[in-house]
Chain A
């Protein structure tokens, strides 16, 4: 359960022609530990999908590299699974045939029992055409196809979007159960942070194509403090975001050393942490996974 499941080094991706293209990802460097459940968060259009597609070997980086399971995404193809945001599946196949496809295209890896159990738990008719399924049912089949492969790394792009609360809970449960049983590393993106807070233990925040925050959830939360008090000096602490309302001063900081007694402190929630960073694009980058360089400033 140790080691690195996914690693990016100066990963950049530009869409469009040379020169005038837009960078969807720029200079992304991070490391996600194996066995973690990692949330890739950030606003829509931040580059989350692009990042996951690179990890799945579906896109070629414009610059830099992405390494998954210790090798290139192409070489790790058999050991990773990926579900795109709109859960594409062949509409003309039945559920049984879709699972058969998993069996045929993953020789030697496919575990039909796992896939069938996920389908059965959703109370789906195995002979139903995929094209006739609802959004939640479709996601379930996509998840069955992904987990039937027994992946070591599971990449999910906005898996819970368009699902009702029950389906959301059930599928997240199925996902966590697989992670518990097989030690699967799960990397999932979402712009709804609250739905991930209980499930994930690792966070990668992407804003505007760049890594903003990265590290174990608990460590990231512990590294930040929400302070309130009368206007005052916050040196030598790193201020991520600060607001003044009348005499009251509120700030999210990364403490460097003991805090002045006059400040009232609370630990932020993941949502507060993410929102504060997104509101302050100039806040310094923080990555905690690389022990050697715990904190590095943004250029």
Chain B
């Protein structure tokens, strides 16, 4: 199960935050195919946001084919984004790369900027939903 954290000051629309956090959970393997997403009731009870916002986010996820709504049962994960589970080789490589960047004297902001620039170059289409956390 995933728990959403709504950041009021982020400037990111609330429903986008839910979409992003769901994807993040999928990526990190916290959610797997067959898992049920929290119901709108559960989400709004914990976050005090408008139910339609949750439904809008779930519709977005459904449109992208990541989840499916089963009538009367809830919304379930259909496929994983888990090409990079938390302990994958890719992560290890990134780990090593970050170490080297630090040894090279780069500040945190420099690393982030560099990383984002590379991301933008390679994933131009997904730009709208940049996955920085």
Report A's interface with B, CB cutoff 8 A.
Answer: 37, 169-170, 172-177, 179-181, 197-201
Q: How far is the CA of A179 from the CA of B51 in the complex (A)?
A: 7
Whether the Cβ atoms of B45 and A199 lie closer than 8 Å is no
Whether the Cβ atoms of B48 and A180 lie closer than 8 Å is no
Q: How far is the CA of A198 from the CA of B47 in the complex (A)?
A: 9
Question: Which residue in A174, A181, A200 is a CB contact (below 8 Å) of B50?
Answer: A200
B40 contacts the other chain (CB 8 A): yes
Q: How many residues of chain B get a CB closer than 8 Å to chain A's CBs?
A: 18
Whether the Cβ atoms of B45 and A173 lie closer than 8 Å is yes
With A198-B6, A198-B8, A198-B14 as known contacts, state yes or no: A180 contacts B46, CB within 8 Å.
no
4 further A-B contacts with Cβ under 8 Å, apart from A179-B51, A198-B6, are A173-B44, A177-B44, A177-B45, A180-B54
Chain B residues near A169 (CB-CB < 8 A): 48
Report B40-61 CB contacts with A as 1/0, cut-off 8 Å: 1110111111111110000000
With A180-B40, A198-B14 as known contacts, state yes or no: A174 contacts B45, CB within 8 Å.
yes
Chain A contact surface mostly: helix
Q: How far is the CA of A284 from the CA of B126 in the complex (A)?
A: 40
Chain A residues near B42 (CB-CB < 8 A): 177
Whether the Cβ atoms of B51 and A173 lie closer than 8 Å is no
Chain A residues near B6 (CB-CB < 8 A): 198
Whether the Cβ atoms of B45 and A176 lie closer than 8 Å is yes
Chain A residues near B8 (CB-CB < 8 A): 197-198
Whether the Cβ atoms of A199 and B41 lie closer than 8 Å is no
Question: Which residue in B39, B40, B46, B48 is a CB contact (below 8 Å) of A199?
Answer: B48
Chain B contact surface mostly: helix
Chain A residues near B51 (CB-CB < 8 A): 37, 176, 179-180
With A181-B41, A198-B6, A198-B14 as known contacts, state yes or no: A173 contacts B47, CB within 8 Å.
yes
Q: How far is the CA of A195 from the CA of B39 in the complex (A)?
A: 23
Chain A residues near B40 (CB-CB < 8 A): 180
Chain A residues near B48 (CB-CB < 8 A): 169-170, 172-173, 175-176, 198-199
Q: How far is the CA of A140 from the CA of B6 in the complex (A)?
A: 24
With A173-B46, A173-B47 as known contacts, state yes or no: A201 contacts B41, CB within 8 Å.
no
Q: How far is the CA of A174 from the CA of B48 in the complex (A)?
A: 8
Chain A residues near B49 (CB-CB < 8 A): 176, 198-199
Nearest A residue to B42, CB-CB: A177
Whether the Cβ atoms of B47 and A37 lie closer than 8 Å is no
Q: Which of B1-53 contact A (CB under 8 A)?
A: 6, 8, 14, 39-42, 44-53
Most buried by A among B40, B48, B54: B48
Q: How far is the CA of A149 from the CA of B54 in the complex (A)?
A: 26
Q: Which of B86-117 contact A (CB under 8 A)?
A: none
Q: How far is the CA of A52 from the CA of B59 in the complex (A)?
A: 33
Chain A residues near B46 (CB-CB < 8 A): 173
Chain B residues near A197 (CB-CB < 8 A): 8
Chain B residues near A173 (CB-CB < 8 A): 44-48
For the complex formed, measure the closest distance between the CB of B65 and the CB atoms of chain A, giving whole angstroms: 24
Report B47-86 CB contacts with A as 1/0, cut-off 8 Å: 1111111100000000000000000000000000000000
Q: How far is the CA of A188 from the CA of B119 in the complex (A)?
A: 44
Nearest A residue to B48, CB-CB: A172
